Every structure is written in structure tokens, then in C-alpha cells.
Structure 1
Amino acid sequence: MKIFLAGATGALGRSLVPQLTAAGHGVVGTTRSPAKASLLRDLGAEPVVVDGLDRDAVLAAVAAARPDAIVHEMTALSGLTDLRRFARAFEQTNRLRTEGLAHLLEAARRNGVEKVVAQSYTGWPYARSGGPVKHEDDPLDPDPPAQMRTTLDAIRRLETDVTAAGGVALRYGGFYGPGTGMAPGGDQWELVMRRKFPLVGDGGGIWSFAQIDDAAAATVAALARWTPGEVYNICDDDPAPLRDWLPYLARTIGAPPPRHVPRWVGRLLGAHLVALTCEIRGSSNAKARQELGWTPRWRSWREGFAALGRGEGGGGGNGGGVSRPAASAPRGA
């Protein structure tokens, strides 16, 4: 297939392009920066410089590419350095999730492209009630904290619009690995290193992670095993509470232990911070395993974080599809 990859120079795009070409696909990749065109050529993609929020430019680029499938991986997630200003950090990404997707869906309709894959998120949007691990048919949070509301609205709209058009939404877990915020020099990495990522209350919020190469491999699998209108959680086998993974990460990468603050102090910093640290639910990858034939190579964040600590980047090279022995039995799949 010929793939139009919107957002090809992001962390996921940089992992996805080589995996798509290795699977025999041709890739036209977009970037907003002319300076990054050479990077896309080196990765194996044909570069197109276009702003995903420029409707006319997007329509023209897709028409010129004449793709068989469109993959939406456009985000603007750099600069997440202050957990208190959650809504502000996601403003541009939410526009890309809604306006950017609308332009791509219009381009797909105009050019007869039936396959559209869009990046969604499964790190915290599920309802903060019931069991600790959620599946795709479980409800999303009906009343998120104010700082998270616009982001969840954008996620809902993305999933509704793409599945209504016969596309697929991939709810990725929290990314880590090369090029992500959870890698040396990344925003989240620096928060941990500088003790600005607190462990609030009991730290019982359940997080689900996805190593970046595994996320890319799942995207390739979704294109190969196409089922219109589906939503998949793309994460590892080991959803875990903050009180487990955050101290482990700090120890592994040589950071100081995270600060522990009472829940009431966390509430003063923001209800969303309490939700993220104490209340959110994890995600099951069972549907993606069964229907996409995808297996995360990094089955647990424990392995991946340890690789980061060794300076290996946590990278899997060729992505997922082949199980790596886990440090502990899979949980939550």
C-alpha cells in the first residue's frame, strides 16, 4: 500500500516509517518543517511539507499522493514541563486531533481512501470507577477534572469521527523510548530527574505504557488486519500503579526518589493531578492481541525502563510482533 503518514517526524512517526517500508509499503510523510525533509528521506519516506491545520494544503497533499491509506499521528506534545497547566499543554494537540483529523477525513472522502488510522490515547481517559483495568467497550470518564476536560472532549470527538467514517482509532498507552518525553532529555524524564513529578497520596492511579516501537508495530498490524470502525488499546501487558512504576523509574535512571505529598496537597495543585496519581484506571491490550495478531516486544515497562537506565533507549529495533521474555507474568491483558 501507499501510506500518507501525517506527523511523520514525531516520535511515533520516526519509528513507524521504517516499519512500514520494511513491510513493503510506500510512505509519503508530512512535516511542518522544511529542515526535517531530509530526515524523512533518510528514513525511507517521500517528504511533504504541510501544516496539518491548513485545510487546503492538506487536501492538495493527499490528492497529489494518491494514497491507499491515511495515518494520523500529528501531535504537539513537547513542552509538558508543568503538570499544573495540563490543559494549556494539550491545546495544539487537541486542535490536531479535531481540526487536523477533519481535514484528513475530507481528503480521504474526496480521494476514495477507505483506510484511515488515527492516534488516540488510553493513558487516563477511562472512567475512574470499577475495576483497575479497562477494555475498549468500557465507558470513558463522564466527569473529568476541569484541566482534563478539553483534552478528553477532543479524544471523544476524534474517536467518534474516525470510526463513523469507517476508520480505526488506536488508543496508545503512555509512550516511552527514543524520541519521546520519557527518554533522556525528554520533558517527563526531566520532571522525574528534578523531582517535579510527585507521588501523591497512595499513588494508586493505574498507568498503561507503550514502548514507541511497539506502538508503531501495532499501527502496521492495524493496517494489515483492517476492520472498519474499531478502537484498540495499544499498551503493554503490565498496567501498574504510580507507586510502583515512578520510584522504580527514578531508581533505574539514577534520579532522586520522587517527592511524596499528601492527597490534600495534591488537590491544591489541581484535581487533575490527584486523578492522574491516585484515581485513573489502566487498560487491557487483549483485543489488539487477538484481532490484530500483535504482541508487544516490551511486555512490561519494567524491562523498558531498565533498558533506558542502561542507556539503551528502550528501543526494540524492529518493533513488536515477537514476545520478549517478561520480568514478571503479564498482568491486565
Structure 2
Amino acid sequence: MKVFVAGAAGAIGIRLIPQLVANGHQVVATTRSERKFAMLRALGAEPVALDGLDAAAVGEAVSLASPDVIVHQMSALAGGANLKKFDEWFHTTNALRTEGTRHLLAAAEAAGVRKLVAQSYTGWTNIREGGPVKTEADPLDPHPAKWQRESIDAVAYLERTVTAAPLEGVVLRYGNFYGPGASEELVELVQQRKMPMIGDGAGVWSWIHLDDAAAATVAAVEHGHAGIYNIVDDEPATVAEWLPYLAECIGAKRPMRVPTWLGRMAAGETTVQWMTQARGASNAKAKRELDWNPTWATWRTGFRHGLHEVPKAAA
């Protein structure tokens, strides 16, 4: 097939292109910067410069490419995390999830594209009530922090719009990324003991290695049916489990533990919620319906062996 990857120069895109090419697909890869053309060509794609918020440019690019499938990986999280000003940090990404999604869907309809696969997220977006592990049928958090409302609304818009579109709309809710290009900042924080355990560390996180996320995307392109899929590993885990283990794997000192009130003062309510109330996600639907299994089945082996190297099965 001919696959149009919008936002192809990001952490997922640069792993997705080689996997698509290896499976015999022709890839048109977009980026906002022509400086990344050489890299995209080296990965096996035909590069195109594109601003995902420019409706006319998106329409023209999709029309010229005439793809069978569009993959929406557009995001724009420049600089370090700013959890205290979350919506401000996510502002452009939110626009790409709303306006950018509308532009891609309109272009897809005009060009007769049969499928669109779009990136979403599972983690802080999950409802923080009920059991520790959520499925695709569980609602998004109805009561996010006020500085996350724009961001969760953008996620909800993307998921609702893509799955209701008159083509085959597939939404992939990726878990928390790790692997080369995704976990360096986290590793540095843990090494410097700047990521303490807050409260009981009972928040549940779901992880996914970047290469496994790319492999799931290939599966969705090739035979995924319309709907939403959690793309996470097999073992949701509390912060109290994975954070000390990560420190051990990278040779760092055991993270400090601080009370909730101090964590709230130092890091903000968003971080406290993630550390103490977050809910993980089940990958049962994706494994069953996409015929996909993560190479790194658990963050335990992934943290120990996959933070700085590409697994052979995905090479």
C-alpha cells in the first residue's frame, strides 16, 4: 500500500517508516522542516514539507500522494515538560489533534483514502475512579485538572471524530513511551534524584517501547478495523513498583519518598495525580484484534535491556 505518514519525523515516525518499508509499503513522510528530508529519505520514505494546520497545504499534499492509508502522528511538544501549565505546553499539539485532524479527514475524503490511523494516548486521560486497569470502553477522565481541560478535550475530539468518519478510522491510544528518543529526560531525572515517590505511589502506569508502538501501528495500517485500541505492554504497574526498579536498572540511587502535600507544593497537582491516582490500560483488544504482541512484553525487561538499544525483533 501507499502510506502517508503525517508527522513522520517524531519518535514514532522514525521507527514506523522502516517497519512499513520492510513490509513492502511505499511511504510518503511529512515534516515541518526540510532539514529532516535527508533522514526521512535514508529511512526509505519520500519526504514532503507540510504544516498540518494549513488546510490547503494538507489537501494538496494528500491529493498529490494519493495514498491508501493516512497515519496521523502529528504533535509538537517542544522543550521540557511543563506540567503546571499543561494546556499551554500542549497548545500546538491540541491544535493538531483538532484542526489538524479535521484537515486530514477532509483531505482523505477528497482523495478517496480508505483508512486513517491516528495517534492518541492512554494514561492521565483515564478516569481516576474504579479499578486500576481500564479498557477502551471506559470513559476519559470527566474531572481533569483545570489546566488539562483543553488537552483532554482535544484527545476526546480526535477519538470521536476519527471513529465517526466515513472511512475506516482507527485510534491508537499509546501508553507512556520509553526507549531511545523517549526516555532520556526521565532517566536523567531519576539519576539526579529529581523524581521522588509522592505519597504511596499507588498511581498505575502503562508503558510501551517505541518500537512496539510502531509495530502496532503497522498492524493497524495493514488489518486494523475501525475503533479505539490501547497500545501498551502486558503489565500495568504502580509507581511504587516501576520507579525504584527503573532507578536500579540505570544504577541510580533509590528515589526519595515525599508526602503528598509536599509533592503538591513542589511539583503541582498534575504530578500528584499521576503518582497517586493514575489508572493503567489493558492491551487485550489490541492483541486480539490487531494480531499484535509487544516484543517488550513488560517494562521490567524493557527498562533493563531496551532503554538504549533497539530489540533485534524490531530491527
**SS of alignment partner, residue 167 of structure 1:** strand
The structural deviation recorded for 1:82 is: 4.1
For residue 170 of structure 2, the aligned residue among 168, 171, 185 is: 168
**Per the alignment, do residues 219 and 107 of structure 1 end up closer, same or farther by CA in structure 2, a change over 3 Å counting?**
same
Kindly report which structure 2 residues correspond to 1:165-204, keeping only aligned pairs within 5 A, or say none: 165=165, 166-180=168-182, 182=183, 186-204=184-202
Q: Which residue is equivalent to 2:53?
A: 53
**Per the alignment, do residues 190 and 298 of structure 1 end up closer, same or farther by CA in structure 2, a change over 3 Å counting?**
same
What 5-or-longer segments of structure 1 have no aligned partner?
321-333
Contact preservation (8 Å) 1:242, 1:277: yes
Cα distance per residue 1:203-222 (max 9 Å; x no partner): 00000011001001001111
Q: Which residue is equivalent to 2:232?
A: 235
Contact preservation (8 Å) 1:305, 1:314: no
For residue 253 of structure 1, the aligned residue among 250, 253, 268 is: 250
Identity of aligned residues (%): 54
What 5-or-longer segments of structure 2 have no aligned partner?
none
Q: RMSD across aligned C-alpha pairs, in angstroms?
A: 1.5
Whole-Å separation in 2 of the counterparts to 1:83 and 1:189: 18
Cα distance per residue 1:193-233 (max 9 Å; x no partner): 322223110000000011001001001111122312x0000
Contact preservation (8 Å) 1:146, 1:272: no
Q: Which residue is equivalent to 1:315?
A: 310
Cα distance per residue 1:157-211 (max 9 Å; x no partner): 000010011411000001111222x1xxx33332223222231100000000110
**Equivalenced residues, count:** 312
For residue 289 of structure 1, the aligned residue among 264, 287, 290 is: 287
The structural deviation recorded for 1:317 is: 4.3
Contact preservation (8 Å) 2:187, 2:250: no
**Per the alignment, do residues 318 and 6 of structure 1 end up closer, same or farther by CA in structure 2, a change over 3 Å counting?**
farther
**Per the alignment, do residues 121 and 14 of structure 1 end up closer, same or farther by CA in structure 2, a change over 3 Å counting?**
same
Whole-Å separation in 2 of the counterparts to 1:93 and 1:39: 23
Q: Which aligned runs of 4 or more in structure 1 are off by greater than 6 angstroms?
A: none
The AA in structure 1 aligned to 2:311 is G
Q: Which residue is equivalent to 1:324?
A: none
TM-score relative to the length of structure 1: 0.90
The structural deviation recorded for 1:91 is: 1.6
Cα distance per residue 1:248-302 (max 9 Å; x no partner): 1122112333232111122334221211000010000000011010000000111
